[in-house]
């Protein structure tokens, strides 16, 4: 009888393991504290508790989340809203199902010696900008300032910036794109003193757009089974984010444990997770409609060259977060 009971239990556990639903998440960038909440959710068993088997795919300079999901390589992707909305207008029906990041970490970091003290000093300066979808917030800001970005007199010269801070260190640009949680600190770690820098946060300049939202394909979301998977995924992910906010050092170590490249250091990741916590603070995962409208307005304010030409419809939903937060 005991042997039969043991066999039954084994089969029950085996059936339970097989019943876990697979979810593939594509990150926007490489394994780092920017995505701590997802790695924490996996490491602490939050996904497992929701009956999910989550595969986290690191990104990189040659990985575009929109292309990955369009090709069926992921169920859900992390992307910035400007990129997602631009892709939607071009025919890729992405839908924002959750917004863990409440605030933007985007900023321009300038050498004080370049003569840039305020945005009024941007004309005739070279500014480093990331592309691949990351350029949209910058281009909107320049449009708001009525500055051309073609290098003509009185405008700005755009330097297509790699994902490093070399253009600033080598003085190829007066300012470069940085994130509050990453590249800014790379400049500091390279020996530049904070007092020798001038920073312009997109949040402070009124040109911030939403970053690091969770996006899925609209047709897949129409499937109740897929929607249910996303409800469980978002619930577990937000649990991971709130755990990371409260336990930054542990979260940083979890990130390090998942970095297959060995490129990250614990000191940098601790700092990054702490800074990221400032951006996820105040978010329960549900998209704030006012933040969405602000982002859309910014993207449509590009004069003759807006990022999107009309207000999107169906680009976001509260269906998933409403159920996840019950």
pLDDT, one tens digit per residue, over 259-295 is: 999 999 999 999 999 999 999 999 999 999 999 998 9
Q: Which fold is adopted by the domain 20-103+210-324? A: D-Maltodextrin-Binding Protein; domain 2 (3.40.190)
**Bridge partners of residue 107, in order along the sequence:** 178, 201
Environment class of 205 (CB within 10 Å of its CB; exposed 0-12, middle 13-18, buried 19+): middle
Note the pLDDT of residue 55. 98
CA dist., res. 74 & res. 24, Å (int): 5
Please count the helices (runs of H) and the strands (runs of E) in the chain: 14, 10
**Confidence check: pLDDT of 16 > 90:** no
Global confidence as pTM? 0.88
Cβ-contact 323, 221 below 8 angstroms: no
Question: Do 106-201 and 20-103+210-324 have the same topology in CATH?
Answer: yes
Q: What is the DSSP letter of 98?
A: E
- pLDDT (tens digit, 9 = 90+) per residue, 73-107? 999 999 999 999 999 999 999 999 999 999 999 99
Q: pLDDT tens across 151-184, in order?
A: 899 999 999 998 899 999 999 999 999 999 999 9
Mean pLDDT of 221-241: 98
Output the average pLDDT for the chain. 92
Which pLDDT value is given to residue 3? 44
The pLDDT assigned to 18 comes to 58
Report whether pLDDT(297) > 80.
yes
Break the chain into its structural domains and give their ranges: 20-103+210-324, 106-201
- Closest by CA to 142, choosing from 326, 321, 302, is 302
- Sign of the alpha-carbon torsion through 37, 95, 288, 235: negative
- pLDDT recorded at residue 11: 47
At the top level of CATH, the class of 106-201 is alpha beta
Nearest to 88 by CA among 100, 99, 79: 79
For residue 306, name the pLDDT band (cuts at 50, 70, 90): confident
- 23: helix, strand or coil: strand
5, pLDDT greater than 50: no
Q: Given pLDDT bands bounded at 50, 70 and 90, which one contains residue 135?
A: confident
Taking Cα atoms as reference points, which of 107, 50, 73 lies closest to residue 216?
73
């Amino acid at each position: 009888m005991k042997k039969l009971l043991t066999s039954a239990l084994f089969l029950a556990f085996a059936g339970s393991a097989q019943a876990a639903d697979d979810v593939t998440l594509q990150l926007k960038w490489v394994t780092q504290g920017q995505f701590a909440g997802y790695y924490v959710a996996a490491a602490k068993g939050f996904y497992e508790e929701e009956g999910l088997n989550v595969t986290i795919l690191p990104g990189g300079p040659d990985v575009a989340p929109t292309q990955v999901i369009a090709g069926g390589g992921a169920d859900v992707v992390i992307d910035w809203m400007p990129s997602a909305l631009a892709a939607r207008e071009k025919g890729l029906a992405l839908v924002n199902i959750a917004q863990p990041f409440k605030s933007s970490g985007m900023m321009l970091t300038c050498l004080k010696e370049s003569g840039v003290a305020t945005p009024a000093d941007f004309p005739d300066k070279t500014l480093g900008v990331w592309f691949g979808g990351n350029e949209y917030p910058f281009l909107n800001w320049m449009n708001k300032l009525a500055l051309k970005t073609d290098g003509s007199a009185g405008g700005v010269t755009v330097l297509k910036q790699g994902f490093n801070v070399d253009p600033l260190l080598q003085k190829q640009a007066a300012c470069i794109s940085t994130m509050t949680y990453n590249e800014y600190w790379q400049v500091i770690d390279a020996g530049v003193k904070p007092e020798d820098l001038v920073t312009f946060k997109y949040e402070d300049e009124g040109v911030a757009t939403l970053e690091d939202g969770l996006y899925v394909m609209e047709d897949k979301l129409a499937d109740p089974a897929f929607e249910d998977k996303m409800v469980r995924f978002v619930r577990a992910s937000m649990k991971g984010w709130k755990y990371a906010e409260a336990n930054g050092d542990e979260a940083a170590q979890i990130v390090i444990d998942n970095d297959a490249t060995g490129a990250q250091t614990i000191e940098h990741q601790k700092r990054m997770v702490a800074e990221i916590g400032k951006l996820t603070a105040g978010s329960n995962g549900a998209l704030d409609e006012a933040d969405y409208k602000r982002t859309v307005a910014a993207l449509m304010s590009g004069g003759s060259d807006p990022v999107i030409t009309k207000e999107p419809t169906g680009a976001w939903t509260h269906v998933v977060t409403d159920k996840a937060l019950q």
